[in-house]
Amino acid sequence: MITVGSDIGGTFTDFVQVDEGTGRIEVYKTLTTPSDPSLAIDQGVRELAQRAGSTAKRIDAMVHGTTLVINAVIERKGARTGLITTRGFRDVLEIGREKRFDAYDLQIEFPAPLVPRRLRLEVDERMHASGEVLQPLDEASVHSAVQALIDADCESIAVCLLHSYANPAHERRVAQIVAEMAPQVAVTISSEVLPEMKEYERTSTTTLNAYAKPVTSRYLTKLEERVRAQGFAGGLLMMQSSGGINSVDFARQFPVQIIESGPAAGTLGAAHFARLADLDKVLAFDMGGTTAKLALVENGKALRTNDFEVAHMHRFKPGSGLPVRISVVDLIEIGAGGGSIAKRTPVGTLQVGPESSSAQPGPACYAQGGTLPTVSDADLVLGYLDAEHFLGGRMKLDREAAVEAIRKHLAEPLGITVEEAAFGVHAIVNENMASAAKAYTSEKGENPKSCALVGFGGAGPVHTCDLAARLAIETVLIPPRAGVAAAFGMIVAPVTYDAVRSRRTLLSRITPELLEQVRAELMAECRERMPSTVAPESITYEFSVDMRYVGQGYDVNAVLPAQLNTAEAAAAMQEAFERSYRKLYGRTFPVPLEVMNFRLSASASRKVIDLPTATTSESKGDGRVGSRRAFCARTKSWKDFSVHRRSAIAPGVHFAGPAIVEEDESTTVIHSDSYAHVDANGSLIIQLEPARSHA
């Protein structure tokens, strides 16, 4: 079994190929091709085959993650989309929650709906929340609305009728009429995308799916054509935002499910190595060329959420983006990557990000036309990166260009030296990430000091130890081949599908019959939506429920016991809810509970070999190959750092910082007062002295 994982990032596209027969692992990293992302995939698959002395014909499965959907939404490059809704609900997308995300901002702006008002049309029908038909569907009004959207050159149509989650009959009939009148137009109905109450969130999620559907379909078709042309005949799978994978046909139908596929995969890779190292609570830190992501992993499982927003008008302000009600790995993302641009602000301070140089033109040191200083330029000037060893020597870095960019745009305007400006950039981006990590973990009822930090991504290991010190974290884990950890996460990801049913009712009215009926519906949907190659007996299920105190406006998800006795379900549900609520808010209340939604997550693990150690059989020492002068963030002074080749470090051999550990895809910087070794699974474990760590 040969499996390839590929992850398209904002700056680099990463690949991992695992041959389960021989245990051989090949990795590859290349610049992303923004004009046509499939070009980078085509190049990577070809390169991996050549390295293995084989062809793409031998690859059994490919798992792919892409930023295509979220980029289409942020850049407003999706399809011309129309919306058909119940009469009187045309403006749901603009009315939203009728809530200001910043009460004191007099110039407040909300993201514009993906569908403009002239393309939001109404039809005559009405469904009760119970599913009872109050007004039959007027098909004449449907024909009129569809024809108007066809005449407006709509490429995709979203259908979201009132209370269709309770009875989808009217939506299905509208979809049939669209197919009859315009078979070339893509159709998305909310009862398939999100059969859940809350009109605004359901409409927003449905329109986003419709908006991304044509562009996703074209991209996936082109991607398939390129890899099939190389002889690949295996299964093409897509990474989902939930941390699982599903078929490419599923992604074509529900592109909203792959909106955050790359970040989710990285968290899975971190969870895998955390399990191997017996770390029960870790903070996964993924820093690439464009963004940094942080996610909490407990007992080998990434936390997930169903409340998610994209295209924020203001970063870190909930309510300022477009709501997407899907299951996603619960993470925070900030504009802090190797390509993040540093600049002097009008008031004379230093700012880093969120703007990025991306893959084109890239940082100044890439020598591809970029002239503005970035985090990578600062890391090179500080001695952390080897200009001759970047990407294993395949890409040379221009140190003089980095120095000139920092001198011209930062050092001279700020009246400081180039080295001071470079460390300012490095320190500010680390402090930005530390602040985000503290806010994120506190919202989850956790303290970062109680976690280990798993650092990965192309730029992550450079910054991980200093970030850990700022968070008072004492244990750092850098997985093998950390620069392509997200692509590896795709290989170890299970096949998954998540189903939901809204059944708003008081907990006291829950009956065993209702519970069995809902679970049967959810299980049938999961089995239908899982790839046909998955055997039903290999599927495991996790049953959970969204609940709240009567009168509250927001839900809390609580996972129910695997062996749930339906006769005692109410007590088990209350216990699970109170456990989750107490962790978030510190207390519970003697108030009646109501159930909002039932959820079922289906998962089927894929057999993937354990990753062999990253060391060679000849390794006996600490892999030291020399030294390099670099700036130590702990002592705030220049020091001689020992330089080690990671592939030559023997398991169990300890060495002290300051040290730099290099591999082809990433570089790990270990500052003073730290000690490192490689464990039996190839992970680099670093212990920071408690006395030198600081909050």
User: How far is it, in rounded angstroms, from Cα 281 to Cα 453?
Assistant: 9
Element (H, E) at 594: strand 593-604
- Residue 616 is predicted with a pLDDT of 45
- DSSP designation for 691: G
Q: Please give the structure tokens belonging to residue 504.
A: 């708003």
- Let me know if 546 is exposed, middle or buried by CB neighbors in 10 A (0-12, 13-18, 19+): buried
Q: Which amino acid is at 515?
A: L
List of residues 6+ apart from 91 with CB closer than 8 A = 117, 120
User: How far is it, in rounded angstroms, from Cα 351 to Cα 340?
Assistant: 10
User: How far is it, in rounded angstroms, from Cα 573 to Cα 567?
Assistant: 12
In terms of DSSP bridges, do strands 301-302 and 292-298 run parallel, antiparallel, or are they unpaired?
antiparallel
Q: Report all structural domains of the chain as residue ranges with CATH numbers, in order of start.
A: 2-73+217-258 (3.30.420.40), 78-213 (no CATH), 340-426 (no CATH), 495-604 (3.30.1490), 624-692 (no CATH)
- Residue 614 is predicted with a pLDDT of 40
Q: Count the neighbouring beta carbons within 10 Å of the beta carbon of residue 441.
A: 20
pLDDT in tens, 358-370: 767 889 998 888 8
- Residue 301 is predicted with a pLDDT of 84
User: How far is it, in rounded angstroms, from Cα 10 to Cα 356?
Assistant: 9
The answer to whether 375 and 352 have CB atoms below 8 angstroms apart is yes
The answer to whether 362 and 11 have CB atoms below 8 angstroms apart is yes
Helix, strand, coil shares, percent, the chain, to 5: 35, 25, 35
For the chain, what's the residue count? 695
- Is the previous residue joined to 658 through a cis bond, with omega within 30 degrees of 0? yes
The span from the first CA to the last CA of the chain, in angstroms, equals 46
User: How far is it, in rounded angstroms, from Cα 407 to Cα 218?
Assistant: 44
Mean pLDDT per block of 10 residues along the chain (695 residues) reads 84 85 82 85 88 83 87 88 97 90 85 95 96 96 97 97 96 97 96 94 96 94 92 90 91 93 85 90 89 88 85 76 90 84 88 79 88 93 90 84 94 93 94 91 87 92 95 94 87 90 92 88 91 86 94 89 75 91 90 94 74 51 92 92 93 93 92 92 90 44
Radius of gyration of the chain (CA): 26
User: How far is it, in rounded angstroms, from Cα 302 to Cα 498?
Assistant: 15
- DSSP designation for 648: G
User: How far is it, in rounded angstroms, from Cα 285 to Cα 290?
Assistant: 14
Counting runs of H as helices and runs of E as strands, what totals does the chain give? 17, 35
Beta strands per DSSP E along 386-507: 452-456, 475-478, 495-506
Could you tell me which of 490, 531, 496 has the C-alpha nearest to residue 605? 496
- Alpha carbon of 572 to those of 121, 575, 579, 692: distances in Å? 45, 5, 11, 45
User: How far is it, in rounded angstroms, from Cα 202 to Cα 234?
Assistant: 35
Q: CA angle, 593 as apex, 592 and 594 as ends, to 5°? A: 130
User: How far is it, in rounded angstroms, from Cα 159 to Cα 177?
Assistant: 12
Residue at token pair 């899907």: 326
The answer to whether 243 and 497 have CB atoms below 8 angstroms apart is no
- Residue 359 is predicted with a pLDDT of 67
User: How far is it, in rounded angstroms, from Cα 83 to Cα 187?
Assistant: 10
The answer to whether 115 and 76 have CB atoms below 8 angstroms apart is no
